[in-house]
């Protein structure tokens, strides 16, 4: 067990320690954060592949007192090092994807160009590699009895984790905070696009009983049709509809209680940072006006825990990097809240 007798939680974060300045080893930590430095298929701004290391640095500024989960950190949080080989592969394939996206944008046909066909095949194979890599590492941690959170990277990264969660826990639901539905099929030709994560999860994971999406404000006809045809397997709370209900007198509590009522006993949180108001995440990959304050989202999470549902894991994705480190600071605080809630929802024996 980690000796905390000389650790001062009121002091500045020690850069020689791990995430949030905590002195835990991976062996002693109850919750392990797996960083995924990957952003091959992002379709607008890049930078999220380097978010984990930036969030790690910003986490040293996060105070450890959480009024919702007192001393949750004492159970131990540990972030594994970023895998440099994964980052190098992401950087290489990202350049290929940029060329391909630009080619498509000019109404060129990929099938007519052998080089573009080769690039598309290589990118899709790279995404399969990542899915398998994430599955193996999260499965290993879950089998070791660890609680696990995933830190991206773009929103394509957690598919392998969802599969490991399904194998470990059986039937479950996902609570998705996002500006986008992520229900497009093979967006821009990429089978495992960041814009296709929930489509792929629903197609490939039968244990995923319910997807409850909250905050979406940028989506297409294809995605609305998919939701309508899902027979309530997908339940959507669009940003516009939420705000109109509030304008007409409904409280946030009433809406949140209704959101949570759709979720099954076991719930996974998928938090795309662009679900927040872009003043909080201006350098995210695809910012959209509107969105939530952090406390609105944290309130959903708190009410989820209070509903006696079991939180079984989380991912936090699409945090941008910036010269003033604003996005990373917001991301670090969102990560701390998710870590605290995951340990609170899983009392140790």
pLDDT tens profile 113-154 = 898 899 999 999 999 999 999 999 999 999 999 999 999 999
Structure tokens at 164: 């490991």
pLDDT tens profile 267-308 = 999 999 999 999 999 999 899 999 999 999 999 999 999 998
Assess whether pLDDT exceeds 90 at residue 101.
no
44 vs 333, higher pLDDT: 333
For residues 317 and 197, the answer to whether their CB atoms sit within 8 Å is no
Question: How far apart are the C-alpha atoms of 325 and 47, rounded to whole Å?
Answer: 12
Cβ–Cβ contacts within 10 Å for residue 67, how many? 5
For residues 23 and 7, the answer to whether their CB atoms sit within 8 Å is yes
Q: Which of 1-10, 43-52, 328-337 has the lowest mean pLDDT?
A: 43-52
For the domain spanning 19-344, the CATH number is 3.40.800.10
Question: Burial, 268: exposed, middle or buried (Cβ in 10 Å; 0-12, 13-18, 19+)?
Answer: buried
Q: What is the DSSP string of 219-234?
A: --HHHHHHHHHTTTSE
**Any idea where the domains of the chain sit in the sequence?**
19-344
Within 8 A by CB and 6+ apart from 117, the residues are 110, 111
Question: How far apart are the C-alpha atoms of 302 and 338, rounded to whole Å?
Answer: 10
């Amino acid at each position: 067990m980690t000796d905390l007798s000389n650790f001062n939680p009121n002091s500045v974060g020690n850069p020689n320690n791990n995430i949030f300045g905590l002195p835990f080893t991976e062996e002693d930590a109850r919750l392990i954060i797996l960083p995924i430095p990957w952003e091959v298929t992002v379709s607008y701004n890049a930078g999220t592949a380097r978010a984990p290391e930036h969030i790690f640095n910003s986490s040293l500024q996060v105070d450890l007192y959480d009024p919702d989960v007192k001393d949750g950190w004492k159970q131990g949080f540990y972030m594994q090092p970023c895998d440099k080989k994964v980052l190098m592969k992401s950087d290489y394939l990202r350049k290929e994807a940029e060329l391909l996206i630009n080619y498509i944008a000019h109404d060129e046909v990929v099938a007519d160009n052998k080089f573009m066909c080769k690039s598309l095949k290589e990118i899709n194979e790279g995404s399969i590699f990542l899915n398998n890599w994430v599955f193996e590492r999260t499965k290993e941690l879950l089998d070791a009895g660890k609680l696990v959170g995933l830190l991206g990277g773009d929103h394509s990264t957690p598919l392998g984790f969802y599969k490991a969660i399904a194998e470990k826990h059986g039937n479950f639901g996902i609570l998705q905070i996002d500006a986008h539905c992520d229900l497009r099929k093979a967006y821009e030709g990429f089978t495992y696009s960041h814009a296709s994560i929930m489509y792929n999860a629903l197609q490939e994971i039968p244990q995923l009983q319910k997807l409850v999406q909250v905050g979406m404000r940028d989506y297409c006809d294809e995605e609305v049709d998919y939701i309508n045809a899902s027979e309530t397997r997908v339940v959507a709370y669009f940003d516009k509809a939420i705000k109109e209900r509030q304008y007409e007198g409904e409280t946030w509590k009433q809406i949140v209680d209704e959101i949570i009522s759709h979720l099954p006993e076991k719930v996974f949180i998928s938090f795309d940072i662009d679900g927040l108001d872009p003043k909080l995440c201006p350098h995210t990959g695809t910012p959209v006006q509107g969105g939530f304050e952090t406390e609105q989202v944290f309130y959903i999470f708190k009410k989820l825990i209070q509903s006696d549902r079991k939180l079984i894991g989380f991912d936090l994705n699409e945090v941008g990097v910036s010269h003033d480190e604003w996005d990373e600071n917001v991301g670090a605080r969102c990560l701390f809240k998710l870590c605290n809630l995951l340990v609170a929802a899983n009392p140790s024996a």
